[in-house]
Amino acid sequence: MLVSWELLKNFIDIEPLDLTPEALAERLTFSGAEVEGITYTAGKIKGVVAARIDALEPHPTEKKYLVAHLNTGTGEHVCVTSATNVKKGDLVFYAGAGAVLPNGMELGTRDFHGVESFGMMLSAEELGLHDVDDPSGLLILPTDARPGDKAENLYHIGDVILDVSITPNRGDLLSILGMAREIKGLYPKSVLNTPEWLTPLKQDKEWPEEFGNISLPDKGCLCYRLGLATGAKMAPSPLTIKIDLAHLGMRPIINAVDVTNYVMMMLGQPLHAFDLNTLPAREITVRAAHENEKMMTLDGKERLLTEKDMLITSGGEAIALAGVMGGEQTGINDDTSTIVIESACFSPIRVGHTSRRLGINSEAAFRFSRTVDPNLSRTALLAATNLIKEWCGAEVDYRPLFAENEISEPKPVKLTRKKLSTYLSWDNMSEAEKILDGFGIKYIKGNNDEKIFMPPTSRPDITIEEDLIEEVGRFIGYNDVAEKLPGELPRRADIGMGMELSGFVRNSLIARGYTEVVTYSFLPEDFPEKLRLSSDDVRAKPLKIANPISRDQMAMRTTLLPGLLTGLKTAITSGWRDPVRIFEQGKIFLFDNTEIEHVAGILFNGADTRSPFDNRAENFYNIKADVEALIMSRGFVPVFKAGQEPFTHAGQTADIFVNKNKIGFVARLKPAIEQELDASGVYAFEIDLTLLANKNKPVFTPSSQFPASFRDISLLVSIDRSNDEVMKDISASVSEAAGNELTLEKLRLFDIYEGKGIPEGFRSLAYSLAYRSHDRTLKDEEVEQVHNNVRESLKRKGYVIR
Binding to other proteins, residues 311-340 (CB under 8 A): none
Please name the helix (run of DSSP H) or strand (run of DSSP E) that holds residue 344, with its range, or none: strand 339-346
How many C-beta neighbours within 10 Å does residue 377 have? 25
Quote the least distance from Cβ 476 to other proteins, whole Å: 10
Give the residue, chosen from 202, 484, 660, 697, that forms a contact with other proteins under the rule CB under 8 A: 484
Please name the helix (run of DSSP H) or strand (run of DSSP E) that holds residue 402, with its range, or none: strand 401-404
What residues between 81 and 140 interact with other proteins by CB under 8 A?
Answer: none
Residue 231 CA to residue 339 CA, distance in Å, equals 9
What residues between 224 and 243 interact with other proteins by CB under 8 A?
Answer: none
Quote the least distance from Cβ 403 to other proteins, whole Å: 24
Instruction: Choose the binding region for other proteins from 13-21, 47-55, 193-201, 349-357 (rule: CB under 8 A).
Output: 349-357
Q: Which residues contact 131 (CB under 8 A, 6 or more apart)?
A: 246, 251, 252
What residues between 532 and 551 interact with other proteins by CB under 8 A?
Answer: 543-549
Cβ nearer to other proteins, comparing 384 with 565: 565
- Crossing angle between the packed helical segments 176-186 and 21-30, to the nearest 10 degrees: 80
360 binds other proteins (CB under 8 A): no
Residue 527 CA to residue 279 CA, distance in Å, equals 55
761 binds other proteins (CB under 8 A): no
470 binds other proteins (CB under 8 A): yes
688 binds other proteins (CB under 8 A): no
521 binds other proteins (CB under 8 A): yes
Give the residue, chosen from 58, 135, 412, 477, that forms a contact with other proteins under the rule CB under 8 A: 477
Longest alpha-carbon distance in the chain: 132
Cβ nearer to other proteins, comparing 155 with 604: 604
What is the DSSP code string of 412-424?
-EEEEHHHHHHHH
Cβ nearer to other proteins, comparing 252 with 270: 270
208 binds other proteins (CB under 8 A): no
Please name the helix (run of DSSP H) or strand (run of DSSP E) that holds residue 501, with its range, or none: helix 496-511
Of 471, 416, 396, 565, nearest to 188 (Cα)?
Answer: 471
Inter-residue contact 172 to 373 (CB < 8 Å)? yes
Quote the least distance from Cβ 332 to other proteins, whole Å: 29
444 binds other proteins (CB under 8 A): no
Give me the count of residues in the chain: 802
- Position 682, amino acid: V
Residue 9 CA to residue 179 CA, distance in Å, equals 11
Of 71, 69, 66, nearest to 49 (Cα)?
Answer: 71
764 binds other proteins (CB under 8 A): no
Residue 682 CA to residue 640 CA, distance in Å, equals 19
Please name the helix (run of DSSP H) or strand (run of DSSP E) that holds residue 674, with its range, or none: helix 671-677
359 binds other proteins (CB under 8 A): no
Q: Residue 540: helix, strand or coil by DSSP?
A: helix
Name residue 714's beta-bridge partners.
766
Please list the alpha-helical segments (H only) found in 330-455: 348-358, 363-368, 376-392, 417-424, 429-438
How many C-beta neighbours within 10 Å does residue 273 have? 25
Give the residue, chosen from 467, 537, 736, 782, that forms a contact with other proteins under the rule CB under 8 A: 467
Q: Residue 196: helix, strand or coil by DSSP?
A: helix
Centroid of chain to Cα 371:
23
801 binds other proteins (CB under 8 A): no
Cβ nearer to other proteins, comparing 30 with 706: 30
29 binds other proteins (CB under 8 A): yes
Total residues binding other proteins (CB under 8 A) = 101
568 binds other proteins (CB under 8 A): yes
Give the residue, chosen from 316, 520, 774, 801, that forms a contact with other proteins under the rule CB under 8 A: 520
Cβ nearer to other proteins, comparing 553 with 764: 553
Is the bond preceding 16 in cis, omega lying within 30 degrees of 0? yes
515 binds other proteins (CB under 8 A): yes
Cβ nearer to other proteins, comparing 97 with 540: 540
519 binds other proteins (CB under 8 A): yes
Cβ nearer to other proteins, comparing 429 with 568: 568
Residue 320 CA to residue 295 CA, distance in Å, equals 8
582 binds other proteins (CB under 8 A): yes
Give the residue, chosen from 495, 697, 702, 720, that forms a contact with other proteins under the rule CB under 8 A: 495
Cβ nearer to other proteins, comparing 406 with 494: 494
Cβ nearer to other proteins, comparing 197 with 583: 583
522 binds other proteins (CB under 8 A): yes
Q: What binding mask, one character per residue, do residues 149-178 give for other proteins by CB under 8 A, x or -?
A: ------------------xxxxx-------
Instruction: Choose the binding region for other proteins from 51-59, 438-446, 459-467, 697-705 (rule: CB under 8 A).
Output: 459-467
Quote the least distance from Cβ 410 to other proteins, whole Å: 17
Cβ nearer to other proteins, comparing 479 with 535: 479
Residue 459 CA to residue 173 CA, distance in Å, equals 10
What residues between 30 and 59 interact with other proteins by CB under 8 A?
Answer: 30-32, 34
478 binds other proteins (CB under 8 A): yes
Name residue 415's beta-bridge partners.
451
473 binds other proteins (CB under 8 A): yes
Quote the least distance from Cβ 446 to other proteins, whole Å: 19
Residue 441 CA to residue 434 CA, distance in Å, equals 9
Give the residue, chosen from 152, 244, 258, 584, that forms a contact with other proteins under the rule CB under 8 A: 584
Quote the least distance from Cβ 514 to other proteins, whole Å: 4
User: Would you give the end-to-end CA distance of the chain in angstroms?
Assistant: 89
Give the residue, chosen from 134, 209, 299, 578, that forms a contact with other proteins under the rule CB under 8 A: 578
- Position 668, amino acid: R
Inter-residue contact 133 to 251 (CB < 8 Å)? no
What residues between 595 and 614 interact with other proteins by CB under 8 A?
Answer: 595, 611-613
Inter-residue contact 606 to 578 (CB < 8 Å)? yes
Quote the least distance from Cβ 494 to other proteins, whole Å: 4
789 binds other proteins (CB under 8 A): no
